[in-house]
Amino acid sequence: MAGQPPGDRPALYSRATPLAGDPCRAPAGREYLGPLRDHRPGPTRSAFSARVERKGVGKPTQLLFRIQASLRRVSVPPPLRRATHLSRLLPPVPTRRERRDEAVIGRRRRGRTPCVTHLYWESALALSCVERSKVSASLAPTRSKLTFFPTEPPRVNRPRQNGITHVLDRLHALDPGELAYLAPYIDVVKIGWGLPLLLTRDRVRERIRTYHEHGIEVSTGGTLLEYALSQDHVGQMIDESRELGFDIIEISSGVLELSSQQTERLAEAVRRRSLDFFIEVGKKDPQHQLSLRETNAQIAFARSQKPRRVILEGAESGRGVGIFDVNGSIKWDWVRSILSEHGLEVLLFEAPVDPQHIELLHELGAEVNLGNIALHAVASLASERLGLRGETFGRIRHHQNVRGPPAAKFLYFLLETHHGLDQTQLAQMSRLPRRTVQSALESLRRQGLVLEAISLHDSRRREYRLV
């Protein structure tokens, strides 16, 4: 239609009364200019509005001058005729290129019902109804309200690469409501031992489906596979486990003595059926435990089979088994020896007792993988990882991948233990030459792991702290 503003180009109309059927209507007694995007011809348009519509929106100063001229015909107090007041209410003026693009879009939209925008004028100039997509966003920006308590559950990228929580299901009653808010903090549930044989197939399938609905993977227990091996039903057991919905098969030799060839064949049988698997290292009987050398050798062999994780046996009691002594305390010389040969990310420590969680988190960080966790202890463990308990508040560190020479890793360990050390203290504690300390600190600084700051006790000293 001739004389229409193309596309979304604003144009001012002056009418004494609003158009019938407009979504935004001026109250009685108010005069207004509008609508800006009404493609229908106005019955009482003034010569001024027709001229603006024909020529489009010019330069900002020209537009404000024209609007000021129109205000003389509208009952508006003189102070509001200033351009400074009007410039706050007008949408940004499009450039020549934007007007050309909008003209093309306008031709494509020809025939559609436009979004009507009105400017209402009162004793104080106010913008009451604006176009949703452009003017409203620019004139009335919304602020996101920050809350102390979370409004949504945390997002989890599964499968998690570290900080895994592996839960032991003892066939307790499942509360869907409780499981819903605990699910973000659970990665794998193991239906322990041979417990699936106590239920019917339909009950096992239903239980697994409940976990899957919350994004949780389900694993068999290692004892179940050992029982199937003793009955010569390994293939049948793996096939039926896949049909029931199990995601992971656990391979262990906690009760039976399995050779390396048997373990390798079991891993290949699981792999052929497109299932993941864990390999557990250790014995369940406290009277027949592996030595530290045997433990490291079996971990190395298990890693050669490329399982999802290697589990260190902790049993249900956490006493006298694996890395725990008869009192349930952690044998840290064993842990350090194991970690010196194998990475933390490939290991999963079974730690069924709460004090063991806290010790492992203190020493190894929040990213340590923990297993055999009771379902009722999941929330407690999650709060411990996040440092939300008195035992871990401000004491849980997050694992950093420290690169560089051994001296850099050693100094990083010292700075984790002692907060704020200068070069002299680091040289004395590490027994390293001063030049080696300086080179290691520079390596940590380049990796963004260490900050250098003036000491709060002596301004002549410079301390180094972890980021």
Residue 150 — φ and ψ, nearest 5°?
-65, 145
Same domain, 212 and 287: yes
Encoded amino acid at 1, one letter? M
Nearest to 369 by CA among 378, 358, 360: 360
8, part of any domain = no
How many other C-beta atoms can be found within 10 angstroms of the C-beta atom of residue 451? 12
Cα 442 to Cα 454: distance, rounded to the nearest angstrom: 17
Q: What is the pLDDT of residues 140-176, one digit of tens each?
A: 444 456 688 888 888 888 889 999 999 999 998 888 8
3, part of any domain = no
Residue with tokens 């949408």: 91
Same domain, 109 and 220: no
Same domain, 451 and 378: no
145, part of any domain = no
Same domain, 325 and 362: yes
Cα 165 to Cα 163: distance, rounded to the nearest angstrom: 7
399, part of any domain = no
Please count the structural domains in the chain.
3
DSSP state of 132: T
457, part of any domain = yes
Same domain, 337 and 254: yes
At a CB cut-off of 8 Å and minimum separation 6, what does 343 contact? none
Q: What domain range is 334 assigned to?
A: 165-385
**Helical pair 47-55 and 60-71, crossing angle rounded to 10 deg:** 170
Tokens at residue 126, please?
Answer: 């106010």
400, part of any domain = no
Cα 205 to Cα 245: distance, rounded to the nearest angstrom: 7
Contact 168, 316 (CB under 8 A): yes
Same domain, 197 and 315: yes
Same domain, 425 and 330: no
Kindly report the CATH number assigned to the domain that includes residue 232. 3.20.20.70
Q: What is the pLDDT of residues 299-351, one digit of tens each?
A: 999 999 999 999 999 988 899 999 999 999 999 999 989 988 998 999 999 99
Task: Count CA within 13 A, CB hemisphere, residue 302.
Answer: 27
Encode the chain (467 residues) as per-residue pLDDT tens digits: 444 444 444 444 444 444 444 444 444 444 444 444 444 444 444 444 444 444 444 444 455 445 554 544 444 444 444 444 444 444 555 666 666 666 655 555 454 444 433 333 333 333 333 344 444 444 444 445 668 888 888 888 888 999 999 999 999 888 888 999 999 999 999 999 999 999 999 999 999 999 999 999 999 999 999 999 999 999 999 999 999 999 999 999 999 999 999 999 999 999 999 999 999 999 999 999 999 999 999 999 999 999 999 999 998 889 999 999 999 999 999 998 998 899 899 999 999 999 999 999 988 888 999 999 999 999 999 999 988 888 888 777 666 678 888 899 888 888 877 767 889 999 999 999 999 999 999 999 898 888 888 877 777 888 888 87
Contact 301, 307 (CB under 8 A): no
Same domain, 132 and 208: no
Same domain, 261 and 214: yes
Cα 429 to Cα 43: distance, rounded to the nearest angstrom: 90
Cα 135 to Cα 372: distance, rounded to the nearest angstrom: 57
Cα 241 to Cα 235: distance, rounded to the nearest angstrom: 10
Tokens at residue 451, please?
Answer: 């900050």
Nearest to 160 by CA among 340, 348, 401: 348
154, part of any domain = no
Sign of torsion, CA 107 111 113 119? positive
Same domain, 302 and 223: yes
Cα 203 to Cα 191: distance, rounded to the nearest angstrom: 13
Average pLDDT, rounded, for the chain:
77
Nearest to 399 by CA among 196, 165, 161, 174: 161
Q: How far is CA 119 from CA 91, 106, 393, in A?
A: 11, 21, 56
**Helical pair 354-364 and 378-385, crossing angle rounded to 10 deg:** 20
Query: Which conformational region is residue 318 in: left (phi greater than 0), alpha (psi within -120 to 50 degrees), or beta?
Result: left
Kindly report the CATH number assigned to the domain that includes residue 448. 1.10.10.10
365, part of any domain = yes
Tokens at residue 65, please?
Answer: 């001058």
Same domain, 353 and 244: yes
Same domain, 265 and 181: yes
